[in-house]
Structure formats: C-alpha cells, structure tokens
Amino acid sequence: MNPLDLEHDLRECALCEHRCGVDRFAGELGVCRMASPMVASRTLHPAPPESYTVFVAGCNFKCLGCQNWTISQFPDNQMDVDGHVDPESLAQETVSMLSSRRATLMSADRVFFSGGEPTIHLPFIEKVVADARKLSPGLKVNFDTNGFMTEKSLERVLCFTTSLTFDIKAFYDDTMRAITGAPVGPVLRNVEIVAKRAVDKLWEFRIVLIPEVNEDDIRPLCNFLASLSTDLPVAFLAFRPNFVLDQHLGATRELIARCLEWAKSANLRNVTYAGVVDIPGTRGSVAEEMEKVYERRGAKIAASYALAAGCTTHPRDCVSCPSASTCLVKKYIPTRSC
C-alpha cells in the first residue's frame, strides 16, 4: 500500500470519536494503540452473514467482557496476529476465497470486516474493497462495528458497505464507560443515523446481555430503538464469561426471557436471540472506591472489575487516562474462556 494513501487520515487521527489526534503515520499511538493496519486473521466463516471474515487487530474500546480480547487488545497483550498485509493481495485473496467451492457450500457471499474494531483501519479497508471490486464489481461487504466512529467516518463506511452489524453495549453513559472506557453519546447518535438514513444496510443491532451489569439499560434501549422504528432488526446475545469478566456469571435463560418481553412491550417486531445460557459464575460486587463514582449499580459492578484489573481512571475515560500507554486492562489474561 502506498504510504501516501494513509497519510491524510493517520497524520492526525480522528477516525473514531476519541479523536486522539496522534500521528499514527509516524508511529504515535492513541487509545487503540495501533500505528499501522494489521490483520489478526481471516477465514471463511459460517456465522450470519456467511462470509470471508477479515479480523483486524486493535480496538478503540477496552470492553471488560470482550470475546475477541486476543485481537482487540493487541499489541499490548503480545498475542500473535497475521500482521501487515498488502491490501491488493488481500483483495485478490478475498475474491478467490469467495469464489471457492467451500464458500459456495456454506453460502458465503461477502467479505466481513470485524475485529477488534475496523473503523481504526478505515482507509486500509477502503483500499481493500476498492481493489477487490476491480476484480469482482458486485462484491458484497459487511462492516462489523462498535459504532464509536465520527459522523464523517460513518458516511465513508456507508458508501462502500452492503450490510452493517452494529454492537450496542449500553444505554446509560456510566454503564457504557464502565464496560468500555468510552462515552455512549456518539454510539447512540450513530444508531439514530443508521436507523433513519441507512436502514437498508443494517443487518442487525446486536446487544450483549451481561447479568447485573447492563440489565437496567436494556428496557430504555428497547424503547429508544422502537422510537426510531419498530421494525429495526435487533439481536440479543447471551454474555459468555471472558476477558476481565472471566469469573462473572453468564446470561441466564430468565434474563433472555425478560429482555424479549421488554422488546415486545416496546413494540419491537424483529427481535432474535442467540448464545449459550446459564454458564455458572460469580455475582459481581461493588468496591468501596466505586460506590460514589458511578450512578447505576451495574456500572459500579463493572467498574469494580476494571479497578481490580488495574484501571486507574474513574469514571473510565480511556482517551484522557494518564496510564493509557501502560494500561493493565489491555494486558489482562483471563483464567477461563467460555
């Protein structure tokens, strides 16, 4: 890839709403801790939408329950990734893999960019897609995101995508910060933009249900989504203990049922759920230091896990944290993964 293709975006990076302003082109690191684009892995993947999935390394969130923590918290966790990949070569590989017999058998019909968070590598992904569409003009593209991009970046994403899978972590700001280290405002703004201007591209909004942590956010979140459109596709995903929340209990069957009832009460008409339920674990407790910092008990519980893992800034705010370059949360290694 010509370095000049990246220079405009990475000289003073503002691809996501952290707007770190670092010169990634010169090797400076912001919240995502990524200077240049790296691919963690890629494979034909049967999960809907069936695809050739490209997992990019790094993320602008530090979600306590991340299922892909080996990828998202790279490079600080020193896990192995594929590394730097030439976009033209990746484009050729993508078209070839989607033309394979195996892809046909599993009905894989698009390239799926996930991670980590693909927004932090947006110019790289745009280049891959442009090169792939020279070879296969009708190539479908899915973009899997946490929604924390700037409005300008979202416009760019919507220009080249066929479908969008969009994770929503919380509704309240203190819950969001406790879980991710980032504010909720930009995500809800982008939810509204997609719902009102690009619903034809929306595959689904995905909400991971974390017992005790974001339970109080689900009902108002359902009401918020219904206020935009009662036909929005929404998927509830059962939380599986992982990363910093490795000892926390998994989502219960009863929690799934309650959330489905809340969605029904909000008149959401296109709701699904998935995942393994009733994985045993411990109930969260509130550290004394967090009692007066966060408003909701769920946020206090999540923040207490973060505190125990070494998080030094509360309310969590990764972009202003003085320990960002030595973050112990990013280096956390779970003792179980479900």
Q: Exposed, middle or buried, 73 (CB in 10 Å: 0-12/13-18/19+)?
A: buried
Tell me the CB-side half-sphere exposure of residue 23, using CA atoms within 13 A.
1
For 1, 110, 141, 167, 330, the CA distances from 162, given in Å and listed in that order, are 24, 9, 5, 17, 32
Task: Report, in this order, helix, strand and coil percent for the chain, each rounded to 5.
Answer: 40, 15, 45
Residue 3 and residue 6: Cα distance in Å, rounded?
6
| Residue 105: partners with Cβ closer than 8 Å, 6 or more residues away | none
CATH of the domain spanning 3-284, picked from 3.90.950.10, 3.20.20.70, 3.40.980.10, 2.115.10.20? 3.20.20.70
Domain ranges of the chain: 3-284
Helix (H) or strand (E) holding 164: strand 163-167
Q: What is the secondary structure of 189-256 as a DSSP string?
A: HHHHHHHHH-GGGEEEEEEEE-TTTTHHHHHHHHHHHHHH-TT-EEEEEE----GGGTTBPPPPHHHH
- Return the pLDDT at 96: 98
Residue 330 and residue 273: Cα distance in Å, rounded?
29
Q: Please give the torsion angle defined by the CA atoms of residues 175, 278, 55 and 334, in that order, rounded to the nearest 10 degrees.
A: 80
- Return the pLDDT at 337: 79
Residue 260 and residue 247: Cα distance in Å, rounded?
25
Q: Give residue 141's region: left, alpha or beta (phi > 0; psi -120 to 50).
A: beta
DSSP class of residue 176?
H
Per-residue model confidence as pLDDT tens for the chain (338 residues): 444 456 789 999 999 999 999 999 999 999 999 999 999 999 999 989 999 999 999 999 999 999 999 999 999 999 999 999 999 999 999 999 999 999 999 999 999 999 999 999 999 999 999 999 999 999 999 999 999 999 999 999 999 999 999 999 999 999 999 999 999 999 999 999 999 999 999 999 999 999 999 999 999 999 999 999 999 999 999 999 999 999 999 999 999 999 999 999 999 999 999 999 999 999 999 999 999 999 999 999 999 999 999 999 999 999 999 999 999 999 999 998 77
Do the beta carbons of residue 158 and residue 151 sit within 8 Å? no
For 65, 319, 323, the CA distances from 293, given in Å and listed in that order, are 21, 18, 19
| Residue 77: partners with Cβ closer than 8 Å, 6 or more residues away | 69, 70, 330, 331, 332, 333
Do the beta carbons of residue 240 and residue 190 sit within 8 Å? no
Residue 119 and residue 147: Cα distance in Å, rounded?
9
Name beta bridge partners: 125. none
- Return the pLDDT at 206: 98
pTM of the predicted model as reported, rounded to 2 decimal places:
0.96
